[in-house]
Amino acid sequence: MRGQSTTEIGKKAEEAVAGELALRGMKVLARNLRRRYGEIDIVALDRGTVVFVEVRARRRGSLVLPEESVDWQKRRRITRMAAAYLSEHRLHDAPCRLDLAAVDLDAGGEVMAVRLIESAFELGPRS
């Protein structure tokens, strides 16, 4: 079995999360949204709420859980991207939340479980 690149594993994890969101009745609006100051993995709509999802994957047995791997700098970039998306799409008053999708992988990099943590981050005041 050949090793998988980080990009391949990331795509596999994002596919699994997109599937989980669909099972929960959410509609994916955008994926891998990039700007010069950051990236958002998935933007979805959940019953009128715009949801920004950060996908984090780790192999089982890793010293750090996926949900523990987001530092304050990454959180700041995510919130900045979310605010920019809302502004670009004129959704200033739309309800929104920032979720984290923690993906557990086996030793070979295959998805074993997806845990969605709703409202994992705060967006802060919007103007």
Q: Which residues of 29-51 are buried (b: 16+ CB within 10 A; e: fewer)?
A: eebebeeeebebbbbbebeeebb
Alpha helices, DSSP H only, in the chain? 6-23, 72-88
Determine the Cα–Cα distance for residues 32 and 13; give it in Å rounded to an integer: 12
User: pTM (2 decimals)?
Assistant: 0.88
- Are the beta carbons of 24 and 66 closer than 8 angstroms? no
How much is the pLDDT for 47? 94
Residue segments in the chain with a per-residue pLDDT below the cut of 50? 1, 126-127
How much is the pLDDT for 115? 93
CATH 3.40.1350.10, applies to 6-121 = yes
How much is the pLDDT for 4? 76
How much is the pLDDT for 62? 75
Burial, 23: exposed, middle or buried (Cβ in 10 Å; 0-12, 13-18, 19+)?
Answer: exposed
